[in-house]
Structure 1
Amino acid sequence: MPMADSSSPGPAVRSVCVYCGSSNTTKPEYLDLASRFGATLAGLGIRLVYGGGAVGLMGRVAKAAHEAGGEVLGIMPRFLERREITYEAVPHRMVDTMHERKHIMFEESDAFVVLPGGIGTLEEAVEMLSWRRLDLHKKPIIFLSEDGFWTPFFMLMDHTVEANLTPASFRDGVIDAHSVAECLSALGVKAAV
């Protein structure tokens, strides 16, 4: 569990945690988005923190950031080494549990970007949303897809707002970005993309 973060969201973003899928068989457009986003972070001098894998969107975002000269930190649970295949070209920390992975990713990041992914990606993102809802942090959380991949998730969030189970003010703070440029703008980063 993170410590309460009483700082304002104003400091410059130096490190971004990216949650995303580990499937190589997903749409080529999602793999391309991950590559472009990783290279963009590197070009801006923003460190990538991610799950440590060499496969799927995870591998693409890390390889692109690394190959563009960016700083990358992977966090890999030992029990996933064979499934997600640790990307050895970048520094990584090996941990024993998913909880440790998420905690280190949280501590090492100024913001979170959620690319397309499956249930694991969603679980990691929802935990950060929950911690934010509990006022344990104020770090930006941006869902990034160019084809509306996350639209059903935002419909569910709106449903919880309409049912008076989530305050509208909380929903307003979670960004649904439809381009890399829109994501960077939400992070407060100015760049030509």
Structure 2
Amino acid sequence: MSISKFKTICVFCGSSLGKKQIYQDAAINLAKEMVLRSIDLVYGGGNIGLMGLISETVFDGGRHVLGVIPKTLMGKEIIGVTIGEVKPFVNMHQRKAEMSRHTNAFIGMCGYGTLEELFEMITWAQLGIHNKPVRLLNIDGYYNSLLFFINQAIEEGFIKPSAQHIIVSASNAKELIANSKILLQLREYYPCHEEVALKLNWNS
């Protein structure tokens, strides 16, 4: 992926702020790094919690913000004025397909909803439905246990070693976006999929 094409990041995050200030700071720092590098945002569409912090910071920085949200969650996750462009969809699958269509890479942080979205994008990468890198913002070791589990799954033969590189993690936004090694991995991400779904279109 050439640097000229790396224009948009989809951030999977939540409608909660978390108990520690460090998570809120990390969300704002991630947004600032995106603005600094002229990267637009695709996200879950809400304006509360970490979603609200990231989207507001990116939008205030002059970058385009696209929120993709199921209609049933609009009353719960949008309070007051919406941020940027908001596209409502009928269900979660359409939401993720639309997010994938509009982004160059994925970054995950937070809880159940994020994990569900994150692992679907990882699976899609493994199957060849998309060829976009997936990244974890591993704040204060938040994802250490998950990364350990993935390594264990590889050792036990349930995940192919060649699929391990789908995920790359970093402890802070600057390292994740500005680090030359990781940025090179983002731009030169080489997909390795099982070629079982290359001709499928899961946008519908």
Q: Tell me whether the two structures share a fold, i.e. TM-score over 0.5.
A: yes
Report deviation, 1:88. 1.1
Report deviation, 1:25. 4.5
How many residues are paired up?
181
Q: Of residues 50, 53, 56 in structure 1, which corresponds to 2:43?
A: 50
Aligned partner of 1:89 in structure 2 is 83
Q: Of residues 30, 33, 37 in structure 2, which corresponds to 1:37?
A: 30
1:121-179 CA distance string (max 9 Å, x none): 00000000001111222211110123110111111111110111111121133101112
Q: What percent identity do the matched residue pairs reach? A: 31
Q: Of residues 104, 110, 114 in structure 1, which corresponds to 2:98?
A: 104
TM-score (norm 2): 0.83
Report deviation, 1:28. 1.4
Q: 2:140, 2:42 → 1: CA distance?
A: 24
What amino acid is the match of 1:126?
F
Is residue 159 from structure 1 mapped to residue 142 from structure 2 by the alignment? no
Aligned partner of 1:68 in structure 2 is 61
Report deviation, 1:69. 1.3
Report deviation, 1:14. 0.7
Is residue 145 from structure 1 mapped to residue 138 from structure 2 by the alignment? yes
Q: 1:52, 1:22 → 2: CA distance?
A: 10
Q: 1:156, 1:10 → 2: CA distance?
A: 32
Gaps of 5+ in 1: 1-8
1:15-74 CA distance string (max 9 Å, x none): 100001211343211111111111221221111000010111111100110111111110
Alpha carbons 2:35, 2:61 under 8 Å: kept = yes
Gaps of 5+ in 2: 188-204
RMSD in angstroms over aligned alpha carbons? Answer: 1.8
